[in-house]
Amino acid sequence: MAKINLRTLAGPALALVLFTLAVRLLIHEASSITWEQFQTGLTGVPPIYLGFAAFLIALNYGLLISYDLLALRYLCRSIPLRRVALVSFLGFTLGNNFGTFLAGAPIRFRFYSRWGLSPSQIVVLISVLGLTFWSGLWFLGGTVLVLVPIQLPPPYTLPFGMRTLGIILLSLAIGYLLVCVFWRKPWPIGKLHLRPPEPGLMAVQASVAAVDLLISATALYLVLPSTSPVPFALVLAAYLAAIAISLISQVPGGLGVLEVILLALLKESVGDSVLASVLIFRTLYYIIPLMFGMATLVIHEIYGGAVEARQAR
């Protein structure tokens, strides 16, 4: 029992430590940026670029419905698109901010169990969702970081360089591809026995996740100050590295971790005003969708409660 409790607490404790460290580093970096530099970052983005970035992010959240559709296809289950769209939107808007285990998974358990999926099927569905995202990050992130080996500045050190991280990601991608092509036996995971996705489904998984990452990186690129031109490849590499590290840290939404890594990787190219751009991106991609997601959840629950009360009468 003690071992189980220790394992249960280890992940959240590590995430809390890394979040605290990231916030301290972010405060340290922010203290060297003047208000004028921060204001330049806020006002240096043309309104049309902000609008286009917001449009891309809305498009991106629409694309995220494909994650649930692919997982349902793996399970050979069919659910009306409007229902899948609802649970996907709620799961990702809340899960991106509060974490998969605190928000994304409970939302899907709540809704999919109503619609006939068993708890074991929902666990498989959530696993396939994560595998879909990681497959795209492995392929795209590995390729980009190998070709564009950006380096962290001296104050921030990792046990390995970014090119090494790219090689690791690309190795995982190739390993996943080989497993899907040649391994047909089910994997025993607890009481579940999961088969690797078919190669065709795996290719669609990686493609959807790669497009997802490309769209969000483009939105970040658009909110960078127009006075500091920087190659898109550099922004893409920095974004993929930041996403990978923030996910490994297990901090919900990568809060603090994502900002610190992007600030460290882009500050030299973009300048001190990059902090404002990163905060704009956080607002557009995380906070505003979260507000829409919470409003949608409240409205749906009120409407559902009214329908149930009417049926009871």
- Give domain limits for the chain: 46-312
Q: Which of the residues in the chain have pLDDT under 70? A: 1-44, 152-160, 188-192, 228, 272, 307-308, 313
- CA dist 229 → 50, 223, 269 (Å): 16, 11, 8
Record the tokens describing residue 10, joined without a space: 């280890």
Instruction: Please provide the size of the chain in residues.
Output: 313
Between CA 62 and CA 81 the distance in angstroms is 12
Parallel, antiparallel or unpaired: strands 192-194 and 187-189: antiparallel
Record the tokens describing residue 232, joined without a space: 């898109």
Can you give the pLDDT at residue 222?
A: 92
Can you give the pLDDT at residue 98?
A: 84
Record the tokens describing residue 228, joined without a space: 């500091």
Between CA 208 and CA 254 the distance in angstroms is 21
CA 139: distance to chain centroid?
15
Q: Helix, strand, or coil here: 118?
A: coil
Can you give the pLDDT at residue 287?
A: 86
Record the tokens describing residue 24, joined without a space: 């301290």
For residue 281, count other CB atoms closer than 10 A to its CB. Answer: 24
For residue 88, count other CB atoms closer than 10 A to its CB. Answer: 26
CA 84: distance to chain centroid?
19
DSSP bridge pairs for 194: 187
Between CA 255 and CA 250 the distance in angstroms is 10
Can you give the pLDDT at residue 7?
A: 45
> Taking CA 56 as the corner, what is the angle to CA 173 and CA 199, rounded to the nearest 5 degrees?
25
Q: Where are the alpha helices (DSSP H) in 250-287?
A: 257-270, 274-282
Contacts (Cβ under 8 Å, ≥6 apart) of 92: 61, 64, 67, 104, 289, 293
* pTM to 2 decimal places: 0.83
Asked if residues 180 and 198 have their Cβ atoms less than 8 Å apart, the reply is yes
Can you give the pLDDT at residue 183?
A: 82
Can you give the pLDDT at residue 187?
A: 73
